[in-house]
Structure 1
Amino acid sequence: MKKASQYFSEEEKKEIADAVLKAESLTSAEIVPVAATSSGRYDRAEDIIGVFFGIIAMIVVWSIAPHSNTETAGSWGNAPVALFLILSVIGGFIIGAFIGSRIGWLRKLFTPRSELSESVKDRAALTFFDQRVHHTSSESGLLFYVSFFERQAVVLGDERVEKELGNEAIESLCSKFTQSLSSDASPAESMIAVIKEAGELLSEVLPQSETEQNELDEALVCID
């Protein structure tokens, strides 16, 4: 699976940092851009893939196993055949689970979309605290979080940002950010565009003041 840091060149990382600085020059809000490879482990999907492979392996073994006659062909009383069937299920499960852990699109195929969305939201909320976005003196932190495995984005604002900017505007930024991930724009272009728009919106409700200090780093945070 491609790591989050591999989606951005060094030049693009610098452009994102510059976009944050430019946006923050218009507002007292603190903007933190974060990109993650994945927001969840999705072990359940690996187990489902393992079961699927185990069943296929059992069917294959049963179809090629020698049978003494038609009366005992379907009988589990034939110890050698039963043993091979059990081993085929176990072996198929292990192989399937291993393949599922290595092939991202296959694991995603067996994971409900609702679970993907919840994992992204939960990881974004955790990142909000880990990156101290909630810890600015003016309570005006704003997180832009993108998770590439799920192709989803989350925008989270601290108390003052939510109050002044409003949930509707934040949700609009999040929607545009998520949609841009499926467009022809690069991840860097998508992030820069949404940061620029956020800066313009925030400048109207949380304008920059001379006493404001930059409390959070403007660099893109990559969680590989």
Structure 2
Amino acid sequence: MLRPTRLFSDAQKTAVEDAIFDAEQRTGAEIVVAVAARSGGYRRFADVFALALAVVVLFAVMWMFGEGSDSLGLPARTTLHPGLIVGTLVATFFLAVVLADLSPAIIRAVAGRRTLRRHVERSAPAHFQRLRLRRTEDHVGLLIYISLLEHEVVIVPDDGILAALNEGDLDPIRETILDGMKQGRLPEALTSAIEQAGRVLGERLPAPKRNMDELGNELYLID
């Protein structure tokens, strides 16, 4: 499982935090960025994958050591010892569970895009509260939440930003990050996306004369 703390080097983390600082010089908004390893538990999907693979392997082994065939074309009997059959099933199941845990692509394929998106959409507002974005004086917090396992991005604006933006203004920012994830260039794409956010927010919600930094500029990496 890819950990955010290993994905970003010290220099890349600093570049993102500098981009947040620079973006906030142009706008009254407070930008917070969080990168999480995952947003949900997917054990049952790993189990489904493991069980399916174990059954396939078991049938393949029985076919190799089978004799005769029934009306369905399946082996009528096998020369394998029953203990070996059970051992093959159990061993394959547990190896497949480990494989699913090590390969997010398997979880994404089995769980499906809708399920993955739902988990991230539930997790993002929780982090919005946890990271105290509600405490800004004019409700101008903006959370950019990235979840690595799911390959998803959710942007959560507070009420003050929602009132200033048009529908779809933040979509290009999300797409920039998603493209970077697909290309294996998330740190660089995130820096570019924050610069985009600064330009968009600067037009819709320009920096006031007294532009306080209410939330800091830390990049939150959540393993």
TM class by smaller structure: 0.7 to 0.9
- Work out the CA distance in 2 between the residues paired with 1:153 and 1:171: 10
- Work out the CA distance in 2 between the residues paired with 1:15 and 1:84: 56
- Work out the CA distance in 1 between the residues paired with 2:87 and 2:164: 62
Query: What TM-score results when the alignment is normalised by the length of structure 1?
Result: 0.83
**Residue identity opposite 2:207 in structure 1:** Q
> Structure 1 residues 213, 92: CA separation in 2 closer, same or farther (over 3 Å shift)?
same
Percent of aligned pairs with the same amino acid:
23
> Structure 1 residues 70, 129: CA separation in 2 closer, same or farther (over 3 Å shift)?
closer
Q: Is the 8 A contact 1:45 1:108 kept in 2?
A: no
Query: What TM-score results when the alignment is normalised by the length of structure 2?
Result: 0.84
- After TM superposition, give the deviation of residue 183 of structure 1 in Å: 4.0
- Work out the CA distance in 2 between the residues paired with 1:177 and 1:105: 18
- Work out the CA distance in 2 between the residues paired with 1:137 and 1:101: 42
Number of aligned positions between the proteins? 219
**Residue identity opposite 2:110 in structure 1:** F
- Work out the CA distance in 2 between the residues paired with 1:189 and 1:37: 18
Show the counterpart of 2:100: 100
Residues 39-78 of structure 1: per-residue CA shift (max 9 Å, x gap): 22322321122112321343245346687x989x7479xx
Show the counterpart of 2:194: 195
- Work out the CA distance in 1 between the residues paired with 2:61 and 2:176: 51
- Work out the CA distance in 1 between the residues paired with 2:173 and 2:155: 7
Which consecutive residues of structure 2, in runs of 5 or more, have no partner in the other structure?
Answer: none
Show the counterpart of 2:46: 46
Q: Is the 8 A contact 2:176 2:192 kept in 1?
A: no
1:171 paired with 2:171, answer: yes
Q: Is the 8 A contact 2:53 2:92 kept in 1?
A: yes
Stretch moving more, 98-107 or 189-198: 98-107
> Structure 1 residues 66, 22: CA separation in 2 closer, same or farther (over 3 Å shift)?
closer
Give the CA RMSD over aligned residues: 2.8
- Work out the CA distance in 2 between the residues paired with 1:16 and 1:115: 29
- After TM superposition, give the deviation of residue 177 of structure 1 in Å: 2.6
**Residue identity opposite 2:164 in structure 1:** E
- Work out the CA distance in 2 between the residues paired with 1:66 and 1:17: 62
Q: Is the 8 A contact 2:32 2:142 kept in 1?
A: yes
Q: Is the 8 A contact 1:61 1:84 kept in 2?
A: no
